[in-house]
Structure 1
Amino acid sequence: MSEAIQWVRSLIFMIIIYAWMLVLGLVFAPYALFSKKGASQACRTYARSTMWLARWMVGIRCEVRGSPPSGEVVIGAKHQSFLDIIMIFAAIPHGKFIMKRELLWTPIIGMYARRLGCIPVNRGKKGVAVAKMVKDVAKEFAEPGQLVIYPQGTRVAPGSYKPYKVGTAVLYEGLGFPCVPVATNAGVFWPRTGIMRKPGLAIVDFLEPIESGVQRDEFLVRLEDVIETRSNELMREVGFDPDEAH
Structure 2
Amino acid sequence: MQIVHPGILQVRTPALNFYVLRDEEGLYVIDGGFVGGVRMLQNTLRQHGWNDLPIRGILVTHGHLDHIFNVAYLAKTTGAWIAATRLDALHYAGKPHYEGNSRVTGWLEATGRFALGYQRFQPDRWLDDGDRIEILSGIKTVHLPGHTQGHMGFLLEKERLLFTADLFVSYRAGGRLPLEIFNNDSAENVRSIGKALGLKPAGVLPNHGSDAPPDVHLQRMERLFERVKCAGHEDYS
**Which has the larger share of helix?**
1
Q: TM-score, normalised by structure 2?
A: 0.29
Q: Choose 1 or 2 for highest CA Rg.
A: 1
Which structure shows the bigger proportion of residues in strand conformation? 2
